[in-house]
Structure 1
Amino acid sequence: MRRMTIALAGAVVLVGMSVPVAAAQAAPPPRPQTNVRADQPPFPYADCIAAAKKKGESPGYAKWHCDELVKKGWIKPPNG
């Protein structure tokens, strides 16, 4: 009887652990872009470089910083 209880508890744990994993793998639906304003991201790359230099960043660091913001979606890529 005790083995049956342990086996049942193990099965419940395995099922409980597999449900969140399956739910986490589902991709969220894409969000439509509506009412994109000029003061919201993505900002132009040239504006990012200018702002970074104005803050006193070196040209190399400013480029790296803006490239990281491109990866996050805050800045438009330089050629697009």
Structure 2
Amino acid sequence: MFYLLILINLISFIIFGLDKKKSIKHQRRISENTLLGVSFIGGTAGAIAGMLIFRHKISKGSFLLKFGFVVMLQVVLILLFQKHFK
């Protein structure tokens, strides 16, 4: 499980970097749903690192709101999972 989380966070980081590169070159972008989806399935740390290092999506309020919702949903699911399998 640990290696899977490392992999998905690395992928998330790379996807945020690619989207930033595409935005600079005015190319077809990676959808916000894809960025949020990768974050949701475990790539939150990679997404945050990508957002900060590449300075990408950090000033877009609507995306940050959706991203915050994804993080809150993850926390709730983790807490429910822990409570159920305690």
- Tell me if both proteins adopt one fold, taking TM over 0.5 as the criterion: no
Structure of larger gyration radius: 1
**Greater share of helix:** 2
TM-score with structure 2 setting the length: 0.29
Q: TM-score, normalised by structure 1?
A: 0.30
